[in-house]
Amino acid sequence: MTIAVLGGAGYIGSHTVAQLVKAGEDVVVLDNLITGHERAIDKKARFYQGDIRDYHFLSQVFSTEKIDAIIHFAAFSIVPESMQDPLKYFDNNTGGMITLLEAMKQFGIDKIVFSSTAATYGEPKQIPIKESDPQVPTNPYGESKLAMEKIIKWADVAYGIHFVALRYFNVAGAMPDGSIGEDHHPETHLIPIILQAAAGTRDNLQIFGDDYPTKDGTNVRDYVHVVDLADAHILALNYLRAGNASDAFNIGSATGFSNLEILNAARKVTGQAIPAKIGPRRPGDPSTLIAASDKARSVLGWKPQFDDVEKIIGDAWNWHENHPEGFGDRQ
């Protein structure tokens, strides 16, 4: 039986494909390559290029391959872009999920692990955030993912499609052997942007806002190494294979770092001065997001190996220094 990884050419998807292959799984990747990179896909996985909103494409792949379960990453994930173009997010993320569930129902595929996000919580009432806390997104990205969670819940009730929603906090880092890493164009995430500034390929690094109610006034986020996040998907897959009930889990380290702390850690790891200015707040940003992640640890048995922000930044820096052009496939 085969695992279909949707969005397996993307940043988190490609790391998960590599970890699945290492675990001995047979893997197919479906990706439209809008933001993904074919070169990021492990050579042992079979690749089908197409869009998850295309029912015909999904049904072709699902009739060719014998799919046991889906791991679904194929979504847009940039908060500021979602504020400017919410329909793009509802179409691909929420709409894409509906098409995918239709195809899963048709082909009798009854297990899915998918990417949700801490952005579904919005501005939390308490820290750390528990899975049972209210979900009130402050941006369309989070809203599009919350809608996915709600839709799948009813698909489980009606059609018996079992799911695990993994609510990611902030992911960073790269494969420790340097084989794959993060390559977004344009890059919007804090750690790779700081590393571009460290490498001298970006100036005008700005920290967005220093008047939040946090320890130093800058936003606080919870960082997870991409390989630990990838491994959480494999645990979730095995949880579903064991016949357990559908559920949602936070995947975070349970430790918060402010944007200035991340900047200082990157200065230490890279040995570069990394000039930065304080800019205005970025619309849609909650002040602090820190996960309570004991549920993933106790129920899924998740045990992050790289629970150290300097290791996370170090692996990202190793990738960035050796691949300043990312996968080198930019038009």
> Which residues bind to ligand UDP, rule: CB under 6 A?
79, 170, 188-190, 193, 206-208, 219, 221, 259, 282, 285
Report, in Å, the least distance between residue 144 CB and ligand UDP: 14
Nearer to ligand UDP, 31 or 285 (CB): 285
Nearer to ligand UDP, 278 or 299 (CB): 278
CA angle (52, 57, 110) in 5-degree steps: 65
Report, in Å, the least distance between residue 290 CB and ligand UDP: 12
CA angle (97, 222, 205) in 5-degree steps: 95
Q: What residue number has its CB nearest to ligand UDP?
A: 219
CA angle (292, 294, 295) in 5-degree steps: 100
Nearer to ligand UDP, 183 or 285 (CB): 285
Nearer to ligand UDP, 210 or 308 (CB): 210
Nearest to 91 by CA among 137, 141, 139: 141
Q: Look up 239 and say whether it is catalytic.
A: no
Please answer whether residues 270 and 201 qualify as being in contact, where contact means their C-beta atoms are separated by less than 8 angstroms. no
Nearer to ligand UDP, 179 or 206 (CB): 206
Written in H, E and C, the secondary structure of the chain is CEEEEECCCCHHHHHHHHHHHHCCCEEEEEECCCCCCHHHCCCCCEEEECCCCCHHHHHHHHHHCCEEEEEECCCCCCHHHHHHCHHHHHHHHHHHHHHHHHHHHHHCCCEEEEEEEHHHCECCCCCCECCCCCCECCCHHHHHHHHHHHHHHHHHHHHCCEEEEEEECEEECCCCCCCCCCCCCCCCCHHHHHHHHHHCCCCCCEEECCCCCCCCCCCEECEEEHHHHHHHHHHHHHHHHCCCCCEEEEECCCCCEEHHHHHHHHHHHHCCCCCCEEECCCCCCCCECCECCHHHHHHHCCCCCCCCHHHHHHHHHHHHHHCCCCCCCCC
Nearer to ligand UDP, 69 or 262 (CB): 262
Name the active-site residue from 11, 89, 141, 168: 141
CA 216 to chain CA mean position, Å: 27
Report, in Å, the least distance between residue 190 CB and ligand UDP: 3
Report, in Å, the least distance between residue 220 CB and ligand UDP: 8
Report, in Å, the least distance between residue 42 CB and ligand UDP: 26
Nearer to ligand UDP, 153 or 184 (CB): 184
Report, in Å, the least distance between residue 199 CB and ligand UDP: 15
Report, in Å, the least distance between residue 204 CB and ligand UDP: 9
List the catalytic residues: 141
